[in-house]
Structure 1
Amino acid sequence: MFIHIGDDNVIQSKDVVAIIDHSLVSSSSIIEEMIFNQRKNRQVVETEDNQAKSIVITEGFIYFSPLSVFTLKKRANMKTTLNKLEDFSEETEG
């Protein structure tokens, strides 16, 4: 399944390692160092207007997203909701 994370970026949900609040970056030297190193490797996708609310970490890239962690979590959980709808429809057909 795919997740639209804002700024015309769409990623596969299976590639997501973590989604963290942008405000946590300055409180963790480990996260700051990881982002710095990924920027050197050109593996960071910034938001268009530098108004990131969350950071999505995948296996290959780090994305700064203008969407909140809560919104991204809801979008990631849509697969679970859709699977439940499919299960429900099978029960009513049988």
Structure 2
Amino acid sequence: MYIHLGLGVVVREEDVIGIFDLENTTVSAVTRDYLKRAQQENLVEDVCYDLPRSIVVCRDYISGERVYITQIAPATLLKRSRAEIGGIPFRKHGGHAGRKE
């Protein structure tokens, strides 16, 4: 399965390492340092034409990793995926296991 990140960029779902909310994660100095290093190593690809909302870290078979900056909200990206984290189906609070939402 593939996940559309914006501007025609799609990634294989199994290559996604993490999806992070840009506003919340960039508060941390560790995250800022990670993004700075990734930019210096040309691993960051901006796939948005509007206000960025998410960071998507993916496995890349050439460089080892790729970081995408996208305008799509993390929750939307998760819904576009199979919505499983570590083999456990993702569900909203109050949802029922086994029920698709």
2:31 aligned partner, one-letter code? I
Residue 30 of structure 1 is matched in structure 2 by 30
Q: CA deviation at 1:6?
A: 1.1
Residue 17 of structure 2 is matched in structure 1 by 17
- In proportion to residue count, which structure has more helix? 1
2:69 aligned partner, one-letter code? F
Q: Secondary structure at the match of 1:27?
A: coil
Residue 67 of structure 2 is matched in structure 1 by 62
Alignment size in residue pairs: 80
Residue 6 of structure 1 is matched in structure 2 by 6
Q: What is the CA–CA distance in structure 2 between the aligned matches of 1:57 and 1:50, rounded to whole Å?
A: 19
Structure index of larger Rg: 1
Residue 85 of structure 1 is matched in structure 2 by none
Whether 1:76 aligns to 2:81 is: yes
5+ residue gaps, structure 2:
60-64, 90-101
- In proportion to residue count, which structure has more strand? 2
Identity of counterpart residues, as a percentage?
Answer: 24
Cα RMSD of the aligned pairs, angstroms, is 1.9
Please identify runs of 4+ aligned residues in structure 1 that moved more than 2 A.
47-50
Contact 1:56 1:62 survives alignment (8 Å): yes
Whether 1:49 aligns to 2:49 is: yes
5+ residue gaps, structure 1:
81-94
Contact 2:53 2:71 survives alignment (8 Å): yes
Deviates more, 1:41-50 or 1:10-19: 41-50
> TM-score if structure 1 supplies the norm length?
0.75
